[in-house]
Structure 1
Amino acid sequence: MQKAGTGQAGDDGGGLKWLYLDMNAFFASCEQQMRPELRRRPLIVVPVRSDYTCAIAASAEAKALGIKTGTQVKLAKQMCPGLAIVDARPDLYVDIHHRILDVVDTVMPVEKVCSIDEVACLLMGPQRHEAAARALGHRIQKRILERIGECLTASIGIAPSRMLAKTAADMMKPLGMTVLRMDHLPGPLLGLEVDDFPGIGAAMKGRLFKAGISEVRQLWHLSPSRMRQLWGGIGGDNFWYALHGVDPPETVTERHSISHSHVLASELRPVEAARPVARRLTVKCGTRLRRMGLRCGGLHLSIRGTASGRAQAERVFPATSDTFRLLEAIDDMWHQCVGALNQPRIQKVSVTCLRMIPADTPPDLFGYSPAVQEDGRHMKLLKALDGLNERFGKDRVSIGPRPKLHDFVGAKIAFNRVPEVEEFWE
């Protein structure tokens, strides 16, 4: 029998701590799984039907032709005349995301949901032995294929830090598994490009290049203080530790705003057609504020024209979650922004709630708490509307005419944020 902390009872020298799962071409794979006629075909997923928007996902078959996330639709069609173009279905992707979480949880607990297609699991005790970690990874991959579908492949990275595990998951696709052991570093990393690491985008890569750092070997040998200097702050220290297999402290962030934006389809770009979009986004903000138990004390509106240029306005008011009050503010700002932009067609509309406070914030003895402006009759009506739309479907009852928008306006899947299910009925 081996002593605790030695041999197979724990770490085998690899320092392994994280198992990171990255779904391959997730949105496109979901579509191919749900629509068998799209399997083995080049496919892209788009947010809106327009030759001038970009793919938000590309299938493995499309990627083999050089089409990738961010490729303009018009160019993608030229690269592949038979390309399948599919409208995004965020509610489907969120549903499958939760099913994947359930499957992973049958093998080991999910420690952190990193994005809609990436999760991290913490290896404990004997699981940190490489053979055991690999076995867990293979079991997860197999169960996803068996229980969710043959198109849902996952790549897995296993490493000492979460950042290295994410990097490892991207090194072998699709359905790959890469292990980065502490006692083998930096060896397996030296064949990568510096921007293969999370946190090094085009701007950071350019900054490193100007400093004479173009290879991973040079990056590895930088000191923490030099990285801090290059990153311009503590982000450099955190990157150094993560690169060398040590997780930096987690930072906890608080929500300071709620924002919804929409890139307009061609028929919605005339100014008179775009205004209902701004109002619909505002209604969504109000519904979300009430669901989250919040009020906001200001709104920000931004509109971007098709001929470049942007106009924006901001209003501050007593804190509220009353949609009627929010709509009054947005109508006022809309006329201001349209006049300033002075263009007949609008490409994008964004609405942001500012100065948010909990709805139950009590009045301050000295009057420092934000004032509250809500009409009791309005709030009763809005609560009833929220309940009807949640029960019978989005926009079953609406405030004013319903704009001709797709079903998922405002329910955006950001890189590091998975929409809540409730957002699809708001």
Structure 2
Amino acid sequence: MTPLPPLRYAHVDMDAFFASVELRERPELIGRPVVVGGRPEGRGVVAAASYAAREFGVRSAMPMRQAVKRCPQLVILPTRIALYREVSAKIRAVFDRYSPRVQPLSLDEAYLDLADHPDNDGRSHSLLALAQAIQRDIFNATRLTCSIGVGNSLLVAKLASDYKKPNGITVVAPAQTQRFLDPLDVGRLWGVGPRTRERLVAAGYSNVASVREGGERRLIDCLGERFGQHLWQRTHGIDPREIRGPRPAKSVSRETTFGADVDDTNELRQALDRLLSSVCERLQKKGLSGKTITLKLRRVPFDTHTLSRSFSRPSNRFTEWQGVAYQMLDASRRRHPGAIRLIGTVNRSDAEWREMLSDEQYRVTRHEATERAFTGEHWDRKDEGEYRCICCGAPLFDSAHKYDSGSGWPSFWQPNDNAPIGEREDRRLFMRRTEVHCERCQAHLGHVFPDGPKPTGLRYCINSASLDFVPREDT
């Protein structure tokens, strides 16, 4: 096996973050079962649960009605994202003092690369001291506790942060990595969802040690070549991932759906002016410019048309874009007359798509390729949040509608309400299938099949390369 790298990564996870912030604000509720989320009368979901609530079996992402049944005395508090972001900013300021390489995963957790910190000599005691200092500084800044895991890979650091919750620190020395991993249930490994765990248990595996003792060949026979090799490396603590910063904005877009269908050109131009002005304002605030503008029009009944135009140089000035936008609007209206239900703008040329996307993302979204099963970033992701189009950022799917289909691709039983998802027949590969794409930017997403779970009976089988995940707290 490849030699294990030295200690460098920390994973910091705030303890029951939303609930803890609320308890800090309302100390009279300390010790009582408290959750943050929507009301049980509607479709409320638990966003966070205090440790007192967890004793009743209440967990995040649980429907609030179910949570109240488990704990009738539950105290339900509304979500206050602005407050949590304010606290999160203070936490991030602490992180930045310890490392220039920070990868936030959500408002309440992040990876830190401590390799270059002057107090890190590569030994466990120095990393323990750094973790204690981070924990202390976060508490002093926020009066909140956190748990920290330190390891020689992101995988080990993440598992370690959960080992002594709440308010714990676990440092896993490289020489102790295998001893730390071996007792863990196989379901704890990154990439192993409920269905995969069931398959492993049925094959006689229970914990990490049992997987290793069975040998790589047997694991590959159980899970297939690619995923078997992937999981074999994880059971030995090998994780090639490195800390990456937040993704830059790939496009700026705006759209609006009219309350009543519009067939008046002047009214459409006024709406286009508002959208274009908003896009240009956002570009200017971010210090960005664009070379291509795409106009999207959805006519009655629901057929969508897009046109694109490019400049020779980037711009973010409304006056330079307005004339081109009007020309596209007039051209589309001549080609497709009729009342308009939705109007929107988004940028990009093919060359720009190629430049801004990875090779895999470009291949999948712009040329309708399909990534290999069990290889994508999101196929077995369990975090709560929203899945957006990798090309234009349009909200498409929610983790609440995601399920493990066993296919090796992210699967959803329905898209978001009003998600700009279009369908068309796909007869490639000697099959008749229904292809799905983002109507805002025409990015290929995947296919939809009629073999999903209730209540829709649908399975939206989507390429990870087509999706960008945004944690619940950031949506």
TM-score by length of 1: 0.59
Q: How many residues align?
A: 309
Partners in 2 of 1:188 and 1:43 — Cα distance? Answer: 33
Contact 1:19 1:156 in 2 (8 A): yes
Distance 1:201 1:132, change over 3 A: same
Distance 1:44 1:88, change over 3 A: same
Identify the residue that residue 388 of structure 1 maps to in structure 2.
none
Partners in 2 of 1:286 and 1:38 — Cα distance? Answer: 48
Identify the residue that residue 419 of structure 2 maps to in structure 1.
351
| TM superposition shift of 1:91 | 2.5
Matching of residue 140 in structure 1 with residue 134 in structure 2:
yes
| TM superposition shift of 1:148 | 1.1
Identify the residue that residue 368 of structure 1 maps to in structure 2.
none
Contact 1:16 1:158 in 2 (8 A): yes
Distance 1:244 1:65, change over 3 A: same
Contact 2:32 2:75 in 1 (8 A): yes
Distance 1:356 1:73, change over 3 A: closer
1:201 maps to a residue whose letter is G
Contact 2:154 2:241 in 1 (8 A): no
| TM superposition shift of 1:145 | 0.9
Contact 1:45 1:57 in 2 (8 A): yes
Identify the residue that residue 168 of structure 2 maps to in structure 1.
176
Distance 1:245 1:51, change over 3 A: same
Matching of residue 318 in structure 1 with residue 307 in structure 2:
yes
Distance 1:55 1:255, change over 3 A: same
Matching of residue 73 in structure 1 with residue 73 in structure 2:
no
| TM superposition shift of 1:97 | 1.8
| TM superposition shift of 1:189 | 2.3
Identify the residue that residue 381 of structure 2 maps to in structure 1.
none
Identify the residue that residue 156 of structure 2 maps to in structure 1.
164
| TM superposition shift of 1:244 | 2.3
Identity, in percent, stands at 27
| TM superposition shift of 1:154 | 0.7
Matching of residue 207 in structure 1 with residue 199 in structure 2:
yes
Matching of residue 44 in structure 1 with residue 44 in structure 2:
no
| TM superposition shift of 1:200 | 1.7
Identify the residue that residue 29 of structure 1 maps to in structure 2.
20
Query: Aligned match of 1:196 in 188, 211, 221?
Result: 188
Question: More strand by proportion, 1 or 2?
Answer: 2
Instruction: Look up the SS of the partner of 2:129 in the other structure.
Output: helix
Distance 1:295 1:209, change over 3 A: farther
Distance 1:289 1:215, change over 3 A: farther
Instruction: Look up the SS of the partner of 1:204 in the other structure.
Output: helix
Partners in 1 of 2:194 and 2:16 — Cα distance? Answer: 22
Matching of residue 115 in structure 1 with residue 183 in structure 2:
no
Matching of residue 60 in structure 1 with residue 51 in structure 2:
yes
Distance 1:80 1:187, change over 3 A: same
RMSD between superposed Cα atoms in Å: 4.6
1:184 maps to a residue whose letter is Q
Matching of residue 99 in structure 1 with residue 90 in structure 2:
yes
| TM superposition shift of 1:109 | 3.6
Identify the residue that residue 341 of structure 1 maps to in structure 2.
none
Partners in 1 of 2:278 and 2:234 — Cα distance? Answer: 36
Partners in 2 of 1:171 and 1:187 — Cα distance? Answer: 14
Distance 1:227 1:92, change over 3 A: farther
| TM superposition shift of 1:67 | 0.9
Contact 1:256 1:355 in 2 (8 A): no
Instruction: Look up the SS of the partner of 2:418 in the other structure.
Output: strand
Distance 1:34 1:295, change over 3 A: farther
Contact 1:155 1:177 in 2 (8 A): yes
| TM superposition shift of 1:231 | 5.4
Query: Aligned match of 2:239 in 236, 243, 247?
Result: 247
| TM superposition shift of 1:297 | 6.1
Structure scoring higher RCO (CA < 8 A, sep ≥ 6) equals 1
Partners in 2 of 1:417 and 1:228 — Cα distance? Answer: 34
Cα deviation code 1:245-294 (max 9, x no counterpart): 3332559989889999xxxxxxxxxxxxx997xxxxx9999898653658
Structure 1: give runs of 5+ residues left out of the alignment: 1-12, 261-273, 277-281, 301-311, 332-346, 358-412
Identify the residue that residue 400 of structure 1 maps to in structure 2.
none
Contact 2:102 2:243 in 1 (8 A): no
Cα deviation code 1:294-353 (max 9, x no counterpart): 8556699xxxxxxxxxxx96734224998xx8x94449xxxxxxxxxxxxxxx9623238
Instruction: Look up the SS of the partner of 1:56 in the other structure.
Output: strand
Instruction: Look up the SS of the partner of 1:120 in the other structure.
Output: strand
1:203 maps to a residue whose letter is R
Distance 1:314 1:131, change over 3 A: farther
Contact 1:299 1:351 in 2 (8 A): no
Distance 1:148 1:135, change over 3 A: same
